[in-house]
Every structure is written in structure tokens, then in C-alpha cells.
Amino acid sequence: MPQTIWGKLSFVFLILLTIEAGWALIMMFENFLGALTVILKYTPFLAPLGVIIGIVGTLKENKKGKLVPLLTLILSIVLIALFLLILFGFQFGG
């Protein structure tokens, strides 16, 4: 478990990003356009903050507590890449 305030804040963001990714994954099987909406609606606000908090948390934590900020950073970058792929690379039809 992280010791610094940045590590604990990155843990909170990791939980929020995991909820968002899980919610989008569940929505993909029920309603694909709903999943796109979830990603396009929440990722621009959560993921950049997750990247910032993940970087600062990685720098401030000791060796034992760096796992949570690194996971936050990785998940934030993956969600930003998915957001940009959907925003600029997705086409309806042809």
C-alpha cells in the first residue's frame, strides 16, 4: 500500500479508472455505442489526471509502494490511447 499522499491519491484514481474500464467492457457486450459513449464521456477528465498523479506518485513513492502509481499511469495511458483511437479512428459505415 502506498505511503505518501500522492500514492494514496493514485490508488483512488486507479479504482476510478478500473471502474470506468470495467463499465466500458461490460457495455461492449450489451450496447457497443453505449460503450463508446462511456469512453468518450469520462476518459478526457479522468485519464489525464491519472497520468499526472501516476507520474508524481511514481516519483514520490519508495520502491515498495511504486506498483500502484505505475498501474495508474499504465491504465491512464491505455485509456487515453483508446479514447484517441475511438475519436479519430472510428468510422460508422464506409
On whether the pTM is more than 0.85, the answer is yes
Q: Which of 53, 93, 92, 88 is nearest to 73 (CA)?
A: 53
Percent of the chain at pLDDT above 70? Answer: 98
Give the model confidence (pLDDT) of 41-77 as tens digits. 999 999 999 999 999 999 998 888 899 999 999 999 9
CA–CA dist 42, 77 (Å, integer):
14
CA angle 82, 24, 38 (to 5 degrees): 80
